[in-house]
Amino acid sequence: MKKVINDPKNVVQETIAGFVAANHAHFHQLEGVTAVVKNKLDPDKVGLLIGGGSGHEPLYLEFIGEGFADAVCQGNIFAAPSPDIVLAGTKAVDRGKGVLYLYGNYAGDNLNFDMAAELAEMEGIRTETVRVMDDVAAAPPERMDDRRGVAGAFFMIKVAGAACDVGLDLDDVKRVTMKARDNVRTMGVALAPGTIPGEEKAPFELAPDEIEIGMGLHGEPGVRRGKLQPADQLVDEMLELIINDLPFKSGDEVCVLVNGLGSTTRMELFIALRRTLQSLANMGIKVYDSQVGSFATCQEMAGFSISLMRLDDELKKYYDWPAWCPVFCTR
């Protein structure tokens, strides 16, 4: 696969170097580790630390900023950050009020963040953890703990960042973030795979006329493989799986994210969003706000996902809370 890279070994370091250089007024990299921290941390607030494997940008790297994360810890491509990286980030953002870890529910992330939490505890820093587990395709509702974290992470980071910014204590930040988690659902469709930088082969194959509904961000198998269909049919099939899962009901109020997986154009995403909004309206579900963009990607993977977050007054407050990160701004 052709990519604009140097030595594949240096991809993560060089990505972070570019990101920090572009945003040097706001963030800096911690010495010796692939962690990025805000230059200015408000005193007396809970720290929000997010992170995961690299290769999904802007997730998690670029969701740092005012009303977003205080620190981002990046692992190698598709691999969780090591406990040492997370610990360094934790120490950098703890202001005596503790730190919330927010990351995707994958075996590697769980092991590494849990070990970081143990190390932080030994240093007298209190941490709590909330895992993103929004991917409806990954497991049935009765095995929620087996669900992966995908694009719905955006809503959770937005809410958690606001909760920290408002000045809630660690227990309350965790409670609100878990509420967001419990109300977020995502379903994706892949049209073509992405490849790990430096690798020739993609981790899976899809025929030119084939799609896979529910495929994960790393090519994890989805719920159905079939022929490519028009956008509206794809959207309706994905929405049905999301709606029935929570379930979302007529009268509910939601935020929508139509997320590109890497190489799908904004043109296509708007077409998908248009249908998503039409179908939600037909179901009597009220859309409070909608976002379109490539927020959680897998290299040049083609396809998109739809995420919904059901709102109540509290979640709405934090969703609306003024916030800025390099890829999102709300005032």
Partner 1 sequence: METLNATQMRDMMLQVADAVVEAKEYLCEADRNIGDGDHGIGMAGGFEGVKQELAGKEFDDVYLVLSTVGRTMIRIMGGASGIIFGLLFYAGSKNMTAQKEITTAEFAEIFEKALVEIQAKGQAKVGDKTVIDALDPMVKALKESVAQNLSFKEMLNRAYLAAEEGKEASKAYVAKFGKAKALGERAVGFPDAGAVSLTVITKAMRDWAQENL
Rule CB under 8 A: say whether 127 interacts with partner 1: no
Q: Is 107 in the site for partner 1 (CB under 8 A)?
A: yes
Minimum CB distance to partner 1 smaller for 29 or for 82: 82
**Tokens (6 digits) for 251:** 């009268």
In angstroms, give the least distance from the CB of 45 to partner 1. 28
Beta strands in 78-183 (DSSP E): 99-104, 127-132
DSSP one-letter code for 52: E
Q: How far apart are CA 52 and CA 195, in angstroms?
A: 18
Contact yes or no for 61/17 (Cβ under 8 A): no
Q: Is there a catalytic annotation at residue 28? A: no
Q: Which of 3, 24, 201, 249 binds partner 1 (CB under 8 A)?
A: 201
Q: Which of 89, 98, 188, 219 binds partner 1 (CB under 8 A)?
A: 219
CB of 8 to partner 1, least distance (A): 8
Burial code (b: 16+ CB inside 10 Å, e: under 16) for 133-151 equals bbbbbbeeeeeeeebbbbb
User: Is there a contact between 176 and 159 (Cβ–Cβ < 8 Å)?
Assistant: yes
Chosen residue from 216, 260, 262, 303 binding partner 1 by CB under 8 A: 216
Task: Give the count of residues interacting with partner 1 (CB under 8 A).
Answer: 31
Tokens of 301: 């993977």
Our finding on whether 83 is near partner 1 (CB under 8 A) is: yes
Instruction: Tell me how far apart the alpha carbons of residues 76 and 55 are, in angstroms, rounded to a whole number.
Output: 8
Q: Is 108 in the site for partner 1 (CB under 8 A)?
A: yes
Closest approach of Cβ 194 to partner 1, in Å? 10
Least distance CB 146 / partner 1 (angstroms): 7
**47 touching partner 1, by CB under 8 A:** no
Strand partners, 226: 211
> Segment contacting partner 1 (CB under 8 A): 111-119, 181-189, 282-290, 307-315?
111-119
Catalytic site includes residue 56: yes
